[in-house]
Structure 1
Amino acid sequence: MRPPLSRRGLLAAGSGLAAATALPALSGCSALAAEDSDPHTLVIHSQLGTTAPGSPTYLAALRRFRAENPGLKVKNLINGDDLAQVYETSRLARKEPDVVMVNLYDKTLAWTDVGATVDVKGYLDDWGLRERVLPVALKSWTDGKGRLRAFPYFATNWPIAYNTALLERAGVDGIPRTGDALIGAARKLRAKGIGPVTTGGNDWTGQKLLAQIIQTFLTEDEAEHVFATGDFSGSRGARQGIDYFVELRDAGVFVDKAQGLTSDSMTTQFNTGSAAIESAMSSALAEVPEKVARRTEVGGWPLAPGAVHDKPTILRTYTLIGLWISPNGAKKIEAVEKFVRFMYRPDTVSRFIKESGRDMALRTDTVSTGFPLVAAAQRLGGRVSQALLPDVYVPPAATQPLITATSTSFTRGTGAAKVRAALEAAYRGA
């Protein structure tokens, strides 16, 4: 069981930012002292609102919500990757916002367990919203004690995008479905001065692709165990998966210096045509320029002989963004209910799909017609197999060290034993 929420524990688990630097990052934080207990003010803290995909739709939704609820003041706070740290600092001061919109990952995994947010299962049922949510999303957001951490909202498909124009230019006949075909395609692409697979080897995008490749020889149950414990050496399937990754890496499948790239570098290389292949979640697929999207197909990651999967793999997750309720929000539950119901309304959900190309964790018949690659990923169905997204299994304390281990893993010449050792080292102290 995790220790109680405390200033020492929270800041020690954070990114190393001191409270003095975290507090100013919370836009409008100085006003919270007067507003956090005001029943007529709803304070929402979100990663949406700047350049994040879906931000314009979200801000427009807030304007509609305000117009429909003139007696309720809505304060919108925005943070990026530091949202969890900023929220925790505000919670320590008991000045936290009422609703938090963030994904289930890293530090947020512990929030409900330590009382930083509340179990929303009762609210979901009392408000009659259970049928609005996909059952797989409810399962993903429910912890081991049966608590629903947040109201599920955004989901994502995470296929492999292939620029067929670049493949054809290099003389590659079709999308590779096996490791040998991928290695052959990479050689032909390089001969034409085209980067093969681009990935953010120095951030979460590379971490997810590495985890996906490792699962080539792992069943779902085995993958859950490996990513929960960090036992990459004790699992035969994990050892085989790492060997496969190293074989692909040293054969030149990944672009040069992938270990230093980020998600921004990756999307830039693919969107400008300097690389032919990327592992792209829905939000990245929605940003592919039209002229590139017209010659792009989505599929799965090629398999090696003996793989446990019978089709190339993709990732899917239903935990991209949820609507979390804080202890302060529980004191203003009528206002929170209005906001959650508004966000769950079919018309609000449809606008995120149509205007922003977002995948949703909610039931809907709306399709991303304006975002053809997102729609294509939704239609992959049984043509691909699904690998496990490790986020909810990796201990929070191991999440950031795994990024460093990922960079080491993408460094050409690093042997499989050193890759395993780097990954396992990330779990020490977790």
Structure 2
Amino acid sequence: MRSSLTRRDLLAAGSGLAAAAALPALSGCSSLASADSDPDTLVVHTQLGTTAPGSPTYLAAVDGFREENPGVQVKNLVNGDDLGQVYETSRLARKEADVVMVNLYDKTLAWTDVGATVDVGPYLDEWGLRGRVLPAALADWTDDEGRLRAFPYFATNWPVAYNRALLDRAGVDEIPTTGDALIAAARRLRAKGLAPVTVGGNDWTGQKLMAQIIQTFLTEEEARHVYATGDFGGRGALRGIEYFTHLRDAGVFADKAQGLTSDSMTTQFNTGEAAIQSAMSSALAKVPEQVARHTEVGGWPLADGAAHEAPTVIRAQTLIGFWVSPNGVRKIEQVEKFLRFMYRPDTVARFVTESGRDMALRTDAVSTDFPLVGAAQRLGSEVSQVLLPDVYVPPAAAQPLITATSTSFTRGTSAARVRAALESAYRSA
């Protein structure tokens, strides 16, 4: 494996010229300078630490680690959606953090291949932690070369939330399980001045929901091929696109969905303005109690001839993992202490009970204070699982796919134009 990330590698991995151009300006800033060379200071680059779900639990866990390991200091570097680019920039300066907490998506797909992070499989075995990880998580985090990109940690369950009180107000007697029933429900909801399905058609939430709907007529193997290659011309993919546009033009999605974001989506659902949303478990944990007590979770309604036996949900094990950098290898004893602590059953249980997180690790903990998260975890044969496409989409196509999503949620855009927009996202990949 190559030991460092070159500019050419970085650009090939999809980080773009912006990261390289920003290097001289950023190399002296606190986010890079704080990648401490002190062998007793472990630097963790994370998205947890502000308002991200699980942040209070994470910070409390770090405090607990410090108390038990007084000889090891932990310094957190916190970023949001820009974490990937900030990390890549710091790696170019050889000032990257020792451990990175981020999901497997877009830029991060290439990190292990280009030497920005290391294969952690040998450490997982050496430290006796493999048995703590769910088999599905090990599979999802392992690349085509057999390298384990990171220590799996957070998973996600992505069902559909239905506000039963709003459906009742509109005269919808049952949770829709078919496309026709969903269209009928949308008409009744609109007649009462309520938005049917709210979705962030201008960001990743819309991209995921559209991918879920397109998979209505795809087997898992077929879906993997479609999202790895960008070939949306097969019969199943075309039928899925047509199903999506049929639902869209029938008024299933909230007005001007192509301009909505994940924040506006959750606001509409959590305030009772919309009756339905496709929500990952971290969003379900934030549904206020007065709405949650009237909410049921299920799957996305199917159409005739679907490849699945029940309404669909997305489940994935790749929401957050602990990546080890080349700098981290130099502090591997401290990394081991930290990872052992974070993998402990009592630490893992806290994320479930205190934050309502789904975990990629084995745990008996139950999200009793987060009823919708718990209900989603209990969904069984009444739903079918489809792929989260993130680990199959080439990094260079990830952001263009979101742009294509906004076009696709614009009412009146033909199925042919939707297909063209999706396939064009792959041309630079």
Query: Fold conserved (TM > 0.5)?
Result: yes
Residue 304 of structure 2 aligns with which residue? Answer: 305
Residue in 1 that maps onto 2:409: 410
Structure 1 match to 2:81: 81
- For residue 383 of structure 1, report the CA deviation from its aligned partner: 1.3
**Structure 1 residue aligned with 2:348:** 349
Q: Distance in 2 between matches of 1:259 and 1:387?
A: 23
Q: Is the 8 A contact 2:157 2:315 kept in 1?
A: yes
Residue in 2 that maps onto 1:187: 187
Q: Distance in 2 between matches of 1:386 and 1:63?
A: 37
Alignment of 1:151-190 (within 5 A): 151-190=151-190
Letter in 2 for 1:29: L
Aligned to 2:61, the other structure's residue is in SS state helix
Q: Which amino acid aligns with 2:15?
A: G
Q: Distance in 1 between matches of 2:377 and 2:216?
A: 22
SS at match of 1:404: helix
Retained in 1: the 8 A contact 2:23–2:93? no
Aligned partner of 2:271 in structure 1 is 272
**Given the superposition, is the C-alpha separation of residues 249 and 425 from structure 1 closer, same or farther in structure 2, using an over 3 Å criterion?**
same
Unaligned runs of 5+ in 2: none
- Classify 1:86/1:28 alpha carbon distance in 2 versus 1 (closer, same or farther; 3 Å): closer
Distance 1:282 1:63 in 2: 26
Aligned partner of 1:213: which letter? I
Match of 1:60 in 2: 60
Three-state SS of the structure 1 residue aligned to 2:34 is helix
Inter-partner Cα distance in structure 1 for 2:92 and 2:24: 15
Partner of 1:210: 210
Q: Which residue of 2 aligns with 1:421?
A: 420
**Aligned-residue identity in percent:** 77
Deviation sequence 1:90-120 (CA, Å, 0-9, x none): 1111111100000000000000000000001
8 Å CA contact 1:26–1:79 kept in 2: the answer is no
SS at match of 1:383: coil
| One-letter identity of the residue aligned with 1:262 | T
> Is residue 103 from structure 1 mapped to residue 100 from structure 2 by the alignment?
no
Q: In structure 2, do the counterparts of structure 1 residues 429 and 45 end up closer, same or farther at CA, with 3 Å as the change threshold?
A: same
Distance 2:339 2:163 in 1: 39
Q: 1:377 to 1:146 in 2, by over 3 A?
A: same
Partner SS, residue 212 of structure 1: helix
Aligned-residue CA RMSD (Å)? 1.6
Equivalents in 1 of 2:397, 2:419: separation in Å?
A: 14
3-state DSSP of counterpart to 1:305:
coil
Amino acid at match of 2:138: L
Matched to 1:14, the amino acid is S
Q: CA deviation at 1:10?
A: 2.3
2:196 match: 196
Closer/same/farther in 2, CA of residues 296 and 91 from structure 1, 3 Å limit: same
**How far apart, CA to CA, are the structure 2 residues paired with 1:164 and 1:156?**
23
CA gap of 1:406–1:72, structure 2 versus 1, over 3 A, is: same
Deviation, structure 1 residue 76: 0.7
Matches within 5 A, 1:297-336: 297-336=296-335
Deviations 1:264-292 (A, max 9, x none): 01000000000000000000000000000
Inter-partner Cα distance in structure 2 for 1:255 and 1:21: 44
Distance 1:5 1:30, change over 3 A: closer
1:316 and 1:41 map into 2 onto residues whose CA distance is 36
CA contact 1:98–1:326 (8 Å) conserved in 2: yes
What is the rounded CA distance, in whole Å, between the counterparts of 1:129 and 1:274 in structure 2?
45
